[in-house]
A and B are shown apart, each in its own frame.
Chain A
Amino acid sequence: MSSAMESDLIHQSAATLAQAIAEGEVSSREVTQAHLDRIAAVDDRVHAFLYVDTEGALAAAEAVDSRRAAGEELGPLAGVPLALKDVLAMKGVPTTCGSRILEGWRPPYDATVVERLRAADVVILGKTNMDEFAMGSSTEHSAYGPTHNPWDLDRIPGGSGGGSAAAVAAFEAPLAIGTDTGGSIRQPAAVTGTVGVKPTYGGVSRFGLVALASSLDQAGPCTRTVMDAALLHAAIGGHDPRDSTSIPDAMPDVVAAAQQADVRGMRIGLVRELSGEGYQAGVEQRFREAVHVLEHLGAEVVEVSCPIFDYALGAYYLILPSECSSNLARFDGMRYGLRVGDDGERSVEEVMSLTREAGFGAEVKRRIMLGTYALSSGYYDAYYGQAQKVRTLIQRDFDAAFAQCDVLVSPTAPTTAFKLGEKVDDPLAMYLNDVATIPVNLAGNCAMSLPVGLAPEDSLPVGLQIMAPAMADDRLYRVGSALEGALQDRWGHLLIEEAPAL
């Protein structure tokens, strides 16, 4: 390892750090300490973390170091630090989901993702901030205050996984885990100049992921490079018998695909419906330039139409609230977390009600009410039933498009990072941030966002979304890695290195 690297452990990729640790050039403890120091230095301004597990992280790092010293074979990410979205259960570590209602709850068990990270000897630094129960696109709905975008601290880092994306973008961790229900990994990646992948539904176990919308949620990697995302994806993915919706088939080799980085002969579809009105000019410009780069690399680019995508947002805001109204029912103050009003006089109904009144934020209540309404007898068919039909039609749009193309592309988010407070009181404006990312969640296939430049008008990062069929996650990495390589050649560095120093 070069001495430059030793003095700059936080700016390395996870792959580089893992190799340096494996070769004994640096210890996991040093790498972990460097990131803990970084968190201590910048997180008061970024607020990516809700909880930093200093002791646990250092203990895990030391364990990796001693096992390496004993000559044990370690995994490809052994000793590398990671930031975990606070929606995943981690034994003994506070898990709040960004909500007051879970304040103080320490799960007695590990999520499968956490188990696999531990099995891969990844060092978990702590838990990252998020919109309450993953409802939002800005982290402003966190009960513990917003996260700030490292590119401009007055701007949102995206959401709901703004904490994970900001932690990676601010060099507080080379790796993070996010979860994506309608874009919560990809939109934060886009607005923070990082890489985020929503794996195929069922590709990564949901066991231990506190559910927002069970049929849409999926955990995935947040990183600064496509290869790091592939390594992390491989570490957490694969069948889990504890999640019935987990796919039993072997997952594709995403790491090999990232290494391949070759788009020659691939057909790439531009989705007509995911551009135009509502999309910022600089976003569209950088997107088109990136598509030209792909063409240059040997891909064939065609335009495809997915007309039902126009109804995706509407269907999503029926299905998601419906499922979430049921998933969030258990937060009633009876068994764990917050309990309000238990004065020995009030009835159980009153205590449940007061607890939920005090423990949930406005956005959570809004969606619970929407969902309760949509599932009510007499309305079910018109709302939930219709939305499920739209969902089937969106799947058909994807099927038709993938019959012509290997992958589809679009801008990840219609705009670059907006100002904190700008949309927080306008739910519809907030929901529109996810217009391009939602169709993939509804259909259950996979997508990646990677940075393709800064919008000329505001010098903020723009993300490009690659979408692939279910269980063809490898194509995301093949295309993403090729594009990343070409852009890096052009710029001479990763886009994230243009972020202002904190």
Chain B
Amino acid sequence: MTEPMPYAEAVAEFEPVIGLEVHVELGTESKMFCSCPTAFGAEPNTQVCPVCLGLPGSMPVMNGAAIESIIRMGLALNCSVVDWCRMARKNYFYPDMPKDYQVSQYDEPICVDGYLDVTVTTDDGPRVFRVEIERVHMEEDTGKLTHAGGATGRIHGADYSLVDYNRAGIPLVEIVTRPVTGTGALAPEVARAYVTELRDIMRGLGVSDVKMEEGSLRCDANVSLNRPGDEWGTRSETKNVNSLRSVERAVRSEIERQAGVLAAGGRVVQETRHFHEDTGQTTPGRSKEQAEDYRYFPEPDLVPIAPDPAWVEQLRAALPEQPSVHRARLAEQWGIGDFEMATLVNAGVLGLVEETVAAGVAPDAARKWWAGELTRVANEREVEPGELGVTPADIGRVEELIATGSLNDKLARQVFEGIMAGEGSADEVVAARGLAVVSDDGALLAAIDEALAAQPDVAEKIKGGKVQAAGAIVGAVMKATRGQADAGKVRDLLLERLGVTE
């Protein structure tokens, strides 16, 4: 295997072209073609019926709520909704598919020709990229296979495999972009920003809970490289990209890998690759050099879909505020600029900040925690900030404690650390770790006296008017109180004690 090329070199030598296929599991009450419930996490094979098990003789009936959701999604992505379209059968044998064909759409998708503008932050300020959307179509989800035994966790080499059909027949929407060019070194950020924006739109529409970790939003990233002026290269398709962060990392690592292959005179193979969260690398999966023939044909068990244009217009009129408009409104309310907003969006914390503000926290404080300390920890732990275990309510409580002087910023960070470690609520962590600011003047004065006695020369300097020397005494007091004192207060008490004014 050739060595990957360092990223900066790779994007200096090659131009990436990316394409993204996002699957969104709709949050409809019932499945796409039957009335089985769709709740996540039920016991295997308890949310099934003859239809979603594909039993002989069973027939699908289209879920009207799914059609409504997909049309709203298409409209929110600036797509045209077609007058007439059909479902198609995608034929291939696999045990997670009860019928050995998937009801999907082929050459007649329901929504076409849309776009989404996404913003990424650069050193020169925010840049907007338009990602064109080729199609939005619907299909049924498959069951879920679990492979037991064997080394790879794949079906080959497994001792046996179990299949859960609870997921089979849950409506899925696939959103396919046109190839995105001209992003250069920003390709990974554009990919991430696109998926983030898409997620926020879907969340705003309320059509899906868009939880990447539960698979209700899944992303496949296509990447190819070409030298400037050359034709587009051969693309790989990376699957298993299960977080926003992974979208960015997967694109980046594919650029590095493909650049390495091409620079060594090799050939990029058209194939499916799997992204690994742990290594940040992709490994080859199925080769697509011999394209599988899915023998698509119109699904004869379903009648064509012909959405009434008047109804489509009603749906359009009732769409919620677009995220970009929403963000502009928030930026104004919070008094922040484009750069600060883009930072929040790219860190994936805008929704969290919004919820935190809604919980009564000042916008500046909410931004400070989410975009600062919590994003830092999330990056360190390689998770999304929302997965840290800190809730907007926790931040609200911590801010209250700071306002009353019970906590300072340093102690607050320790409170969050405790919350993230599962030690309970803010108050529980404060109590258990003994993190309250020492505000008992007596205790502080005793500590100050002790410090002054230990450093008589410093005491003299301060008395002599060298107020800046107070830092050494304050530091000693903070050390003695294990940080639980309010440094400002210690300083005030110290100066008062020595009869010095600033």
The verdict on A491 contacting chain B, using a C-beta distance below 8 Å, is no
The verdict on B297 contacting chain A, using a C-beta distance below 8 Å, is yes
Q: Contacting B300 at CB < 8 Å: which of A102, A215, A377?
A: A215
Q: Looking at A97, A242, A243, A322, which has the most chain B CB atoms within 10 Å of its CB? A: A242
Contact: B295 with A88, CB < 8 Å?
no
21 contacts between A and B (CB under 8 A): A88-B57, A89-B55, A107-B50, A208-B57, A210-B57, A243-B59, A243-B61, A244-B60, A244-B61, A245-B302, A329-B100, A330-B99, A332-B95, A332-B100, A335-B98, A336-B55, A348-B161, A372-B295, A376-B293, A376-B295, A384-B297
Enumerate the 6 nearest inter-chain pairs by beta-carbon distance, A residue then B residue, closest first.
A329-B100, A375-B295, A214-B300, A215-B300, A210-B56, A208-B57
Contact residues in B for A384 (Cβ distance below 8 Å): 297
Closest A residue to B156 by CB, please name it: A347
Q: Looking at B155, B297, B302, which has the most chain A CB atoms within 10 Å of its CB? A: B297
**Interface digits, B68-94 against A, CB 8 Å rule (1 contact, 0 not)?**
000000000000000000000101010
**Interface digits, A200-243 against B, CB 8 Å rule (1 contact, 0 not)?**
00000011111101110000000000000000000000000111
The verdict on B62 contacting chain A, using a C-beta distance below 8 Å, is yes
Contact: B56 with A349, CB < 8 Å?
no
Contact: A348 with B100, CB < 8 Å?
no
List residues of A (312-351) whose CB comes within 8 Å of B's CBs.
322-323, 325-326, 329-332, 334-336, 347-349
List residues of B (179-227) whose CB comes within 8 Å of A's CBs.
none
Contact residues in B for A326 (Cβ distance below 8 Å): 89, 91, 101, 295, 297
Contact: A335 with B57, CB < 8 Å?
no
Contact residues in B for A109 (Cβ distance below 8 Å): 50, 55, 58
Contact: B100 with A108, CB < 8 Å?
no
Contact residues in B for A329 (Cβ distance below 8 Å): 91, 93, 99-101
Contact: A111 with B57, CB < 8 Å?
yes
How many of B's residues come within 8 Å of A, CB to CB? 31
List residues of B (77-130) whose CB comes within 8 Å of A's CBs.
89, 91, 93, 95, 98-101
Q: Looking at A207, A244, A377, which has the most chain B CB atoms within 10 Å of its CB? A: A244
Closest A residue to B291 by CB, please name it: A377
The verdict on B400 contacting chain A, using a C-beta distance below 8 Å, is no
The verdict on A51 contacting chain B, using a C-beta distance below 8 Å, is no
Question: Bound state CA distance, A211 and B101, in angstroms?
Answer: 14
Q: A330-B99, A332-B100, A336-B55 are in contact. Are A241 and B61 (CB under 8 A)?
A: yes
Instruction: Name 20 extra pairs, CB < 8 A, besides A377-B295, A380-B295.
Output: A89-B56, A107-B55, A109-B58, A208-B58, A242-B59, A243-B59, A244-B60, A325-B91, A325-B295, A326-B295, A329-B93, A330-B54, A330-B100, A332-B100, A334-B163, A335-B54, A347-B155, A372-B295, A377-B293, A384-B297
Closest B residue to A348 by CB, please name it: B95
A interface: dominant SS: loop
B137 to chain A, nearest CB (A): 18
Contact residues in B for A211 (Cβ distance below 8 Å): 56-57, 301
Q: Looking at B156, B296, B300, B303, which has the most chain A CB atoms within 10 Å of its CB? A: B300
**Interface digits, B330-347 against A, CB 8 Å rule (1 contact, 0 not)?**
000000000000000000
Question: Bound state CA distance, A208 and B303, in angstroms?
Answer: 18
Question: Bound state CA distance, A95 and B95, in angstroms?
Answer: 22
**Interface digits, B42-58 against A, CB 8 Å rule (1 contact, 0 not)?**
00000000100111111
Contact: B56 with A107, CB < 8 Å?
yes
Contact: A207 with B58, CB < 8 Å?
yes
Contact residues in B for A105 (Cβ distance below 8 Å): 56
Q: Looking at A108, A241, A329, which has the most chain B CB atoms within 10 Å of its CB? A: A329
Closest A residue to B161 by CB, please name it: A348
List residues of A (66-114) whose CB comes within 8 Å of B's CBs.
88-89, 95, 97, 102, 105, 107-109, 111
How many of A's residues come within 8 Å of B, CB to CB? 45
Contact residues in A for B163 (Cβ distance below 8 Å): 334
Q: Contacting A349 at CB < 8 Å: which of B93, B295, B297?
A: B93
Q: Contacting A244 at CB < 8 Å: which of B50, B293, B302?
A: B302
Q: A330-B100, A376-B293 are in contact. Are A107 and B300 (CB under 8 A)?
A: no
Q: Contacting B98 at CB < 8 Å: which of A95, A210, A330, A347?
A: A330
Closest A residue to B49 by CB, please name it: A109
Closest A residue to B294 by CB, please name it: A377
Question: Bound state CA distance, A38 and B16, in angstroms?
Answer: 78
Q: Contacting B91 at CB < 8 Å: which of A102, A210, A331, A375?
A: A375
Closest B residue to A336 by CB, please name it: B55
The verdict on A364 contacting chain B, using a C-beta distance below 8 Å, is no
The verdict on A190 contacting chain B, using a C-beta distance below 8 Å, is no
Contact residues in A for B99 (Cβ distance below 8 Å): 329-330
List residues of A (339-394) whose CB comes within 8 Å of B's CBs.
347-349, 352, 372, 375-377, 380, 384
Q: A245-B301, A323-B300, A376-B295 are in contact. Are A332 and B93 (CB under 8 A)?
A: yes
Question: Bound state CA distance, A384 and B88, in angstroms?
Answer: 14
Contact residues in A for B93 (Cβ distance below 8 Å): 329, 332, 349, 352
Closest B residue to A87 by CB, please name it: B57
A107 to chain B, nearest CB (A): 7
A355 to chain B, nearest CB (A): 11
B interface: dominant SS: loop
Question: Bound state CA distance, A322 and B101, in angstroms?
Answer: 13
Contact residues in A for B53 (Cβ distance below 8 Å): 335
Closest A residue to B165 by CB, please name it: A335
Question: Bound state CA distance, A331 and B57, in angstroms?
Answer: 12
A341 to chain B, nearest CB (A): 14
Contact residues in A for B59 (Cβ distance below 8 Å): 206-207, 242-244
A326 to chain B, nearest CB (A): 5
B67 to chain A, nearest CB (A): 13
Q: A209-B57, A330-B100, A348-B95 are in contact. Are A375 and B297 (CB under 8 A)?
A: yes
Contact: B57 with A89, CB < 8 Å?
yes
**Interface digits, B272-316 against A, CB 8 Å rule (1 contact, 0 not)?**
000000000000000000000101110011110000000000000
Q: Looking at A108, A330, A335, which has the most chain B CB atoms within 10 Å of its CB? A: A330
Closest B residue to A208 by CB, please name it: B57
Question: Bound state CA distance, A242 and B293, in angstroms?
Answer: 31
Contact residues in A for B302 (Cβ distance below 8 Å): 244-245
Q: Contacting B57 at CB < 8 Å: which of A107, A244, A347?
A: A107
Q: A330-B56, A336-B55 are in contact. Are A245 and B303 (CB under 8 A)?
A: yes
A348 to chain B, nearest CB (A): 6
B28 to chain A, nearest CB (A): 17
List residues of B (135-173) whose CB comes within 8 Å of A's CBs.
155-156, 161, 163
Question: Bound state CA distance, A384 and B89, in angstroms?
Answer: 14
Contact residues in A for B89 (Cβ distance below 8 Å): 326
Closest B residue to A384 by CB, please name it: B297
B2 to chain A, nearest CB (A): 32
Contact residues in B for A208 (Cβ distance below 8 Å): 57-58
Contact residues in B for A380 (Cβ distance below 8 Å): 295-297
**Interface digits, A106-145 against B, CB 8 Å rule (1 contact, 0 not)?**
0111010000000000000000000000000000000000
**Interface digits, B413-446 against A, CB 8 Å rule (1 contact, 0 not)?**
0000000000000000000000000000000000
Closest B residue to A114 by CB, please name it: B57
Contact residues in B for A322 (Cβ distance below 8 Å): 297
Contact residues in A for B61 (Cβ distance below 8 Å): 241-244
Contact: A207 with B57, CB < 8 Å?
yes
A372 to chain B, nearest CB (A): 7
Question: Bound state CA distance, A241 and B50, in angstroms?
Answer: 15
Question: Bound state CA distance, A336 and B55, in angstroms?
Answer: 9
Q: A215-B300, A376-B293 are in contact. Are A102 and B60 (CB under 8 A)?
A: no
Question: Bound state CA distance, A352 and B95, in angstroms?
Answer: 9
Question: Bound state CA distance, A331 and B98, in angstroms?
Answer: 9
Question: Bound state CA distance, A434 and B375, in angstroms?
Answer: 72
Contact: A108 with B56, CB < 8 Å?
no
Closest A residue to B292 by CB, please name it: A377
A334 to chain B, nearest CB (A): 5
List residues of A (169-207) whose CB comes within 8 Å of B's CBs.
206-207
Contact: B301 with A214, CB < 8 Å?
yes
Question: Bound state CA distance, A311 and B99, in angstroms?
Answer: 32
Question: Bound state CA distance, A111 and B51, in angstroms?
Answer: 12
